[in-house]
Amino acid sequence: MRQVRTFHLAALLALAGALPAVAQPATRGGSNSVNIQFQRMTLPNGLEVILAPDHTIPQVAVNVWYHVGSKNESAGRTGFAHMFEHVMFTGSGHVPYGMHDRLTEGVGGTNNGSTTNDRTNYYEVVPSNYLESALWLESDRMGFLLDKLDDAKFRAQRDIVQNERRQGVDNQPYGRAFELLDYGIYPSTHRYSWPVVGYMTDLQAATVDDVKNFFRLYYAPSNATIAIVGDFDPARAKSMVTKYFGDLKGGTRIARPAITMPALAAEKRMVFEDRVQIPRLYLSWPSVGEDQSDTHAIQFLAQILAGPRTARLTKALVYDRQSAAAVGAFDNTNENAGNFIVQITPRPNHTLGELEATADSIIARLKDTGPTAEEMKKTQAGLEFAFVSQLQSNLGKSNILNSGLVFHGDAGNFRKEYAQLKAVTAADVKRVANKYLGAGRVVLSIVPLGKPELASHADRSARVTVAADGGHYIMGNTQ
């Protein structure tokens, strides 16, 4: 038998066979322990800093979260938060266009940004010797973005955002489904009712001054957190953060919108014609935000209904009756509100109406008897694995830490969240199923062009069409 040992530069230094000390983070434990060791620092301007060294690989993730998302926009002025995500990569006071990519991807790292209803983030993952560059880049756009922002830059990014929408929504079969579900479940003035990408008519109408005001309010250090995770020395990182962010001005106090999840008094049925051959059914119930403790039991509910093969809907529809090609369930959880979504794709010769009725009877049974002890154990095992698994990535950890700090005021919230997940009982799942999966819901049928009769209960479903601006929706009458 052949035995091969491939050499390892660092290991060679430390003595063959032994792993170098730097490859042993403090999180090692004999059991399946879940932990991230981190330190905190707050600058006088309000910037919150989280530092979590992990020397597994010689890279470091720098991740800045701004507590602003599309919910901070107003009707008629949508899409700003996401537009910023794009504008933030076009250069700033001391950083010319292109330098950001040059000092991240161009040296072996990556960068990106993302925008949700509730927050916007920017990250760099770089070789560890480029930590200071990453902090320089982030501090410059936090402090000096507006020095270089002009109308031409804004318009150029607006074109790209329109392409993003074309690619992700307009040119995808079923691509409008989630916009339609939000449109159906929220009143038109609700802050979660408009798409994160915004309405193009709003973006066209935006002025550079609108944009600048938005930036000044929300992109201040006092509305930001920064997590640094990976191969670095905390004392040195702290001094670098102070150096680059210390002299930026804190912002004014931000009035957080009070957002609640509106109940739906009755079922709302919609049908939308799309360029698809196979219809699809979506059910959506108002649920809760990440700020409510029921969110954990709702995660269990999604798994028990439409997780793996033996989940209730999966087994009944895909395996036993074979009336569906696929089912899925998940909670679309925002910070302050959410909706629980079930999605079903039929097999030929099975109607959306039949699938809805079967799904409803299965959900009713779960509401009646609650999950079994075995279902609870299986779901817990999956969640435990998922939790530990995400600790492998520096970027993943930086998001967990930021999320805790921004949404729960505690970077260590993951420990509490993990404990809460493990504490969810069958009674909790039964209770949330009954509390949230009630009569008030949205039922959306997406059907092939010209075939509205394929909708579930077509006679009671309102036809929804796209407005002339290509973004807004128009609710028609029932047929």
Partner 1 sequence: MTLRTLKTPATLALALALAVAAPAASSAQGKLDRATAPTPGSSPAMRVPTWTRTKLANGAELIVVEKHDLPLVAFNLDFVGGAPSFEPADKLGTAQFTGQMLSEGTKTRTADELSDAQQMLGTTIAASVGSEGGNVRFTALKDKFVPALDLLADMMLNSTFPDSALERLRGRALVALAQQRDQPNAIAANVFSRVVYGDAHPYGRVTNEKTVKAITRDDVLAFHRAYFKPGRAVITVSGDVDPKAVRAAVERAFAAWPAGGERPSFAYGPLPAPVARTIYLVDKPKAAQSVFAFGTPGPARNTPDYYALSVMNHLLGGLFQSRLNHDIREVKGFSYGVRSSFAFGHGPGAFQAGGGIVSAKTDSALMGFMTHFKGVQGEMPFTDDEVKQGKESLIQSLPSRFATVNNIAASVSAIYTQDLPETFYQDYASRINAVTKDDLVRVAKKYIDTDHMALVIVGDRATIEDKLKATGIAPITILDVDGKH
Query: Could you say which residues in the range 263-302 bind partner 1, by CB under 8 A?
Result: 275-278
Locate 294 and state its tokens. 């029921």
Q: CB atoms < 10 A from the CB of 80, how many?
A: 24
Nearer to partner 1, 393 or 420 (CB): 393
How many residues interact with partner 1 (rule CB under 8 A)? 111
Binders of partner 1 in range 172-201 (CB under 8 A): 172-173
Query: Is 164 an interacting residue with respect to partner 1 (CB under 8 A)?
Result: yes
Q: Distance between CA atoms of 56 and 10, rounded to whole angstroms?
A: 12
Nearer to partner 1, 261 or 313 (CB): 313
Question: Using the rule CB under 8 A, which residue among 74, 163, 260, 434 binds partner 1?
Answer: 163
Q: How far is the CB of 467 from partner 1 (least distance, A)?
A: 15
Helices (H), 206-293: 208-218, 234-245
Query: Is 467 an interacting residue with respect to partner 1 (CB under 8 A)?
Result: no
Nearer to partner 1, 277 or 477 (CB): 277
Query: Is 233 an interacting residue with respect to partner 1 (CB under 8 A)?
Result: yes
Q: Distance between CA atoms of 296 and 292, rounded to whole angstroms?
A: 9
Query: Is 108 an interacting residue with respect to partner 1 (CB under 8 A)?
Result: yes
* Secondary structure (3-state) at 114: strand
The one-letter amino acid code at 32 reads N
Q: Which stretch binds partner 1 (CB under 8 A): 31-39, 72-80, 184-192, 265-273?
A: 31-39
Phi and psi at residue 343, to the nearest 5°: -130, 130
Helices (H), 223-351: 234-245, 294-306, 312-313
Provide the CA 273 distance to its chain's centre, in angstroms: 27
Nearer to partner 1, 28 or 258 (CB): 28
Dump the DSSP string for 37-69.
--EEEE-TTS-EEEEEE--SSSEEEEEEEES--
Task: Write out the H or E segment, with its range, that includes residue 14.
Answer: helix 9-14
Query: Is 465 an interacting residue with respect to partner 1 (CB under 8 A)?
Result: no
Q: Distance between CA atoms of 245 and 242, rounded to whole angstroms?
A: 5
Closest CA to 60 of 94, 108, 102, 99: 108
Query: Is 21 an interacting residue with respect to partner 1 (CB under 8 A)?
Result: no
Locate 248 and state its tokens. 């930026």
Q: CB atoms < 10 A from the CB of 374, how many?
A: 9
DSSP 16: T
Q: How far is the CB of 109 from partner 1 (least distance, A)?
A: 7
Binders of partner 1 in range 305-334 (CB under 8 A): 307-310, 315, 318-319, 322, 325-326
Query: Is 457 an interacting residue with respect to partner 1 (CB under 8 A)?
Result: no
Question: Using the rule CB under 8 A, which residue among 68, 87, 103, 376 binds partner 1?
Answer: 103
The one-letter amino acid code at 175 reads G
Query: Is 244 an interacting residue with respect to partner 1 (CB under 8 A)?
Result: yes
Nearer to partner 1, 327 or 363 (CB): 327
- The 110-149 site mask, x for binding partner 1 (CB under 8 A), equals xx-------------x-xxxxxxx--x--xx---x-----
DSSP 169: I
Q: How far is the CB of 291 from partner 1 (least distance, A)?
A: 28
Binders of partner 1 in range 203-232 (CB under 8 A): 231-232
Query: Is 378 an interacting residue with respect to partner 1 (CB under 8 A)?
Result: yes
Nearer to partner 1, 160 or 364 (CB): 160
Q: Which stretch binds partner 1 (CB under 8 A): 216-224, 358-366, 381-389, 401-409?
A: 381-389
